[in-house]
Amino acid sequence: MKRSAWRYLWSAHDIRRKLLITLMILVIYRFAAHVPVPGVDREVLASLLSGGGSTGTLVGLLNLLSGGTVAQFSVMAMGVYPYITAQIILQLLVPIVPALQRRMEEDPREGRKWMEKWTYLLAIPMAALQAIGQINLFSGLAQTPIIPNFGFTGANLLPSLTIIASMTAGTMFAIWLGELISEFGIRNQGLSLIIFAGIVAGIPTNLGQLMTDEQNRWFILAFMLVLTLLIIAAIVFVQQGQRNIPVMYPGRRVGNRMSMPVKGTLPLRVNMAGMIPLIFAQAFLTFPAIVGGFFLNSQTEWVKNLASSLQNIFGGTSDAYWIMYFFVVVGFTFFYTDVLFAQQNYGENLKKAGAQIPGVSRGAPTQRYLTKVLRRITFPGAMFLGIVAILPWLVSLILPLGNNAGVLLVSSAGLLIVVGVVRDTFFIIDAELKLHGYDDRLLVR
């Protein structure tokens, strides 16, 4: 009888140790996520979280992206996103700066080490700047300082620097925990699991919010469960989608004879960009609302009106916001996929290996052909990401949910992260089982 290798999951000592280490680190992260920033006003924070309109939507979004730590305004309120932002900035700079592009092409291994080093270094000032921006944003949205006496003048300087240092240290601590998971736990999944743990930890609270409507609670719950299952099925289908490009690899010389050429495939994924376009689009579109929040109390009438308009348009409640969100996600999916694919330079790498796509010349023509194919198959992936991004708005047109629209965001964009992490973790554990000899086998009772 054929049995799955997964039944050996707990008996395989090495894999069991990695799973226990991963679980222990995630527990540590969740405990640390409840350590509040010194001096935060809990009443102001509670009023922001419970508020409706564009303010509630924006704060709910930041809470999702931080993995639920904004709700506590903990020292990890920024999550690991300063690191991800630094990573995106460096990835976008590589094709723009010729010196960086040459470094990556001449020695890819050393180039990756250089990229990792500078990503960590850039994450520190990014975390500090984001901490200042987050405190000022929350104070502007609440029109009351969320941390009293926060500022960089007089007696407030040292306490404010301490707050910024604690939030920056919290972010770097979260990044360090993610690296520990990648090194000693489930490999290459550290930061993803950190974000995953924060989103999953908020599910009970979100379900509680869905049940607040006494008249329609069961209908809304059933609707959300069916919608969640459909989203999961769609995400798995799209994430698994790929186009296999036929490639002919040259034969090898064995003694005095030459072996026949080997036929292989080069897989191109439908969604190579993953979750990054949604994160970038949210940051891009919420930036005007953040800037407008600083000028809501301006004494100049036209500045105050402009700030109010920015809050209304980019705060997440207007139809124009969701339409712009869709197109920005689709556009950035193409842009980010092109950048990633150009860095991999398949045309030159296949040429060095002596491989060739049938009917296509080696080198630059191969790269142009692959880019053309990739852009064509990226279109359904980009459209899918755009629909996932605006799903809360689409559902609200069918079923008025009021403040529960923020929960829908978790069910769409949040589920994209959760399903992706679960899928990648499943494949990694399955590969580890096979690597240790626990492959599927026929066993006779």
Q: Let me know if residue 52 belongs to a domain.
A: yes
pLDDT band at 168 (very low <50, low <70, confident <90, very high): very high
CA distance linking residue 73 with residue 194, whole number of Å? 17
Q: How confident is the model at residue 406 (pLDDT cuts 50, 70, 90)?
A: very low
Instruction: Give a yes or no: residue 239 inside a domain.
Output: no
Mean pLDDT of 372-382: 90
The alpha carbons of the chain give a radius of gyration, in whole angstroms, of 25
What is the rounded CA–CA span in Å between residue 46 and residue 252?
68
Task: Kindly provide the b/e burial profile for residues 275-307, where b requires at least 16 CB atoms within 10 angstroms of the residue's own CB.
Answer: bbbbbbbbeebbebbbbbbebeeeeeeeeeeeb
Query: Is residue 394 scored above 60 in pLDDT?
Result: yes
In degrees to the nearest 10, what's the CA dihedral of 105, 111, 112, 115? Answer: -120
Q: Which domain holds residue 9?
A: 1-213+439-445
Q: Does 405 have pLDDT greater than 50?
A: no
Within-domain flag for 64: yes
Instruction: Tell me whether residue 82 is in a domain.
Output: yes
Q: What confidence score (pLDDT) does residue 303 get?
A: 76
CATH number at residue 43: 1.10.3370.10
Least confident of 3-7, 108-112, 385-389: 3-7
pLDDT at 444 over 50: no
Q: Which residue has the tokens 């490999």?
A: 187
**Mean pLDDT within 104-120:** 83
Cα dist from 276 to 87, 213, 336, 403, whole Å: 11, 34, 8, 26
Domain count of the fold of the chain: 1
> Does 7 map to a domain?
yes
Answer whether residue 341 is part of any domain: no
Per-residue pLDDT band for 176 (boundaries 50, 70, 90) equals very high
Judge whether 296 lies within some domain: no
Residues 358 and 263: their CA atoms lie apart, in Å, by 10
- pLDDT per position as a tens digit, 324-352: 889 998 998 998 888 888 877 888 888 88
Q: Under 8 Å CB-to-CB from 97, ≥6 apart: which residues?
A: none
Q: Is residue 1's pLDDT more than 50?
A: no
Task: Report pLDDT for 280.
Answer: 76
The answer to whether position 71 is within a domain reads yes
Average pLDDT for 366-390: 89
pLDDT at 32 over 80: yes
Q: Which of 152-161, 175-184, 292-301, 384-393 has the highest mean pLDDT?
A: 175-184
Task: Name the average pLDDT for the chain.
Answer: 78
Burial class (CB in 10 A: 0-12, 13-18, 19+), 401: buried
- Over residues 92-101, the pLDDT tens digits come to 788 788 888 7
